[in-house]
Amino acid sequence: MRVRHYLHFVVWFALFALFIWISVPIVVPAMRENRFGPIETNRSIDAYLSALTGIEHGSEKLPDTFRRLGKEGKLVVFVRDENAQSEFLGMMIGYVSWPREVEVIKVPGSSVEKKLADIKPGSVAGVVFCSVDPPAWLQHRVPLGYSMTLVPVTEAAP
Amino acid sequence: MIVIGLFAALFTIVIAGFGVTMSIFARIGRINLIECVCLSWLLGVGVVSLLLWIGGALCSGLLLQAIVTLLCLVLAIFGWRAMRLANAKFEIPKLATITEWILAGIILIEITALIFVSFKHTLGWDGLLNWEIKARYAFLNGGTIPSTYYSNAGRGFSHPEYPLGIPFTELWLYLWMGEPNQFWVKIIFPLFYAAGAPLLALFIARLSGSRWIGLLIAALLPFVPSISASPGGVVVGYVDVPLSIFYLSALGYLLLWLRTNDSRFMIAFAACSALLPWTKSEGIILWFVLVLLGFVLSLIKRRVAPFIISIVPGCALILAWRVYLKIVHLWPHSDFARPSLGLLRDHFSRLGEIFTVLFVELCERGQWSIFWPLAAAALIYLFASRKLERIAVAGAVIIPILLYALTYVFSTWPSYTAHMTSSVPRLLLHVMPAGWLAIGLALSQSKRETQTL
């Protein structure tokens, strides 16, 4: 009985040792990643916008840009379907453009023109293309970093 | 000023929770200080977020903040009075051996490390776009979620139907800091870990009679990569870790109540389990599992009536949230079709692949190391023990995993396997601390079943 008791603990401790042996090379490097801070109000959103578009302090600059579109009208955001980065960027635009209404439209890539034609100019203030190429005929594009383009809606209609 | 505001927010959460904890445990005479602090955080989060939600329907801005603060103070005073009237005293568990001291020290170092590491990372995708977004919009709207948030389909990506337990805790910090500070708000998540690890040690110690085993298991907890080093873990601000801690706490107190018939444990179970559906939608499944297990056990122990009473807060909260969603004209969006026998028959062939994907995930060493094989070994021990309480722990680990897996039979995603691989790791995280509880109980073979911690 005593032997069984010791064996029980030996087996479990061996399993725990194996568990730690496997875990440490995964957990420790992950915990050492990155550095502390920066201690900034919009730390997360700015970090993502900077990484995806190259815009620094995007949480302040983008709402400023959208404010110039006027108070009324929603923002239509085109994102590339099944492209996580593009969709994430579209959601970011949704996040920072509050309280303006947004509509996120997923496009496979080639159907942007058709979707664009469906837009009713009266209700839309601007169109944002996230990792999606705007149609060639669109004028007055405002580049937002290196992966986004804003087109105020009066110019967006064909 | 921001840091002072942050401490004030955390302090008010803890004192509100302290008030509730004391009103539960004051009559016990000697109150475990560590248990009290851990439970104060968990229940404080629940109280403050609920007060903000309810209060937000009546007022907003500084008035809302003042009223909630006042109620937190009232709860704290109420708890303190209950403690004085019962002549209760705090007691810090005395560590008996050098092993216990070392293990307790390791746990403390791990908690400190996770708090530090949390500030090195940004909020993750869900942390930012599902949870923090609600806190931010509510902050910008004076403490209440604006109705336009619910009516704008374009922001459906942020799941407006998700419950507000964690977003409103973040909101509370924002209100006190005076700005939606995405850096400091992350303190919430390691604090859940800091509450959960000691509670895990405590439950194992109480249920097994062996304190060092409890401390050992709690010290091993952060070595599971998914909790400390992966998407969904403590450092990215997802609600899965808080949910797992609420689940562990509810399960622990349910077991203690069934063992001791002490009504205080039943009240603690009622409080912790009620907060499961308030933390995440999947919390309803975890709540249901606990209700099922608790009902069976209480039936065997002939304590059905008090058990039924204990599930009332959870039922009320689930119902209240559904009513609220209806009021704001929002019906929960779901990635799942409404279950029906016809659909089950049509999708029955999915089961093979679902369990294959599940098995592959459970064996994923980068996420779990060998945690699940350890848990599987523990479950065999627990079933072999033929003790009701231990079989219940095994059930609390297995049943949610099975239910989670079975939900993918009804997945509406074009690829249900893609749906599964994107969400299953986080769902398994909900059960992970309960899995450690199972391992702790399997490890302890002691005949003693005293409450030593």
Mutation for B interface: A4, A13, A18, A26, most B CBs within 10 A: A26
Distances (CA, A) of B153 to A104, A112, B5, B63, B159: 9, 20, 34, 31, 10
* B400 upstream amide cis, omega within 30 of 0: no
The pLDDT of B3-9, averaged and rounded, is 97
The whole-chain average pLDDT of chain A stands at: 88
Q: Which tokens is B159 given?
A: 């799941």
ipTM over the 0.90 cut-off: yes
Half-sphere exposure of A116 (CA within 13 A, CB side): 26
Chain B, 103 to 142: residues with Cβ < 8 Å from chain A are: 113, 116-117, 119-123, 125, 127-129, 132-133, 136-137, 140
| Chain A residues inside the 8 Å CB shell of B134 | none
The pLDDT of B374-379, averaged and rounded, is 96
pLDDT tens digits for B221-253?
999 999 988 777 899 999 999 999 999 999 999
Asked if B373 contacts B429 with a C-beta cutoff of 8 angstroms, the reply is: no
pLDDT tens digits for A42-56?
999 999 999 999 999
Half-sphere exposure of A67 (CA within 13 A, CB side): 7
Return the H-helix or E-strand segment holding B325.
Answer: helix B312-327
What percent of chain B lies above the pLDDT cut of 90?
Answer: 82
| Chain B residues inside the 8 Å CB shell of A37 | 119-120, 183
Whole-angstrom distance, CA of residue B120 vs CA of residue A44: 11
Whole-angstrom distance, CA of residue B182 vs CA of residue B191: 16
Tell me which residue in B119, B148, B371 faces A19 most closely, judged by beta carbons. B371
pLDDT tens digits for A61-71?
999 999 988 88
Is the Cβ of B412 closer than 8 Å to some Cβ of chain A? no
Q: List Cβ neighbours of B406 (8 Å cut-off, separation of 6 or more).
A: B354
- Determine whether the interchain pair B133/A95 forms a contact, defined as Cβ–Cβ distance below 8 Å: yes
| Chain A residues inside the 8 Å CB shell of B154 | 74, 77, 94, 101-104
DSSP string, B122-141: ---HHIIIIIIHHHHHHHHT
Whole-angstrom distance, CA of residue A1 vs CA of residue B83: 47
| Chain B residues inside the 8 Å CB shell of A19 | 220, 223, 369-371, 374
For residue B91, the distance in angstroms to the closest alpha carbon of chain A comes to 31
Tell me which residue in B154, B223, B229 faces A103 most closely, judged by beta carbons. B154
- Determine whether the interchain pair B154/A74 forms a contact, defined as Cβ–Cβ distance below 8 Å: yes
10 Å CB burial of residue A19 (0-12, 13-18, 19+) is buried
Q: Which of A27, A15, A10, A25 is nearest to B376 (CA)?
A: A15
For residue A34, the distance in angstroms to the closest alpha carbon of chain B comes to 6
Tell me which residue in B229, B370, B374 faces A27 most closely, judged by beta carbons. B229
Residue A22 φ/ψ, nearest 5 degrees = -80, -40
Considering Cα of A133, then A136, then A137, then A143, what sign does the dihedral take? positive
Nearest CA in chain A to B136: A95
- Determine whether the interchain pair A102/B228 forms a contact, defined as Cβ–Cβ distance below 8 Å: no
10 Å CB burial of residue A110 (0-12, 13-18, 19+) is exposed
| pLDDT classification of B451: cutoffs 50, 70, 90 | very low
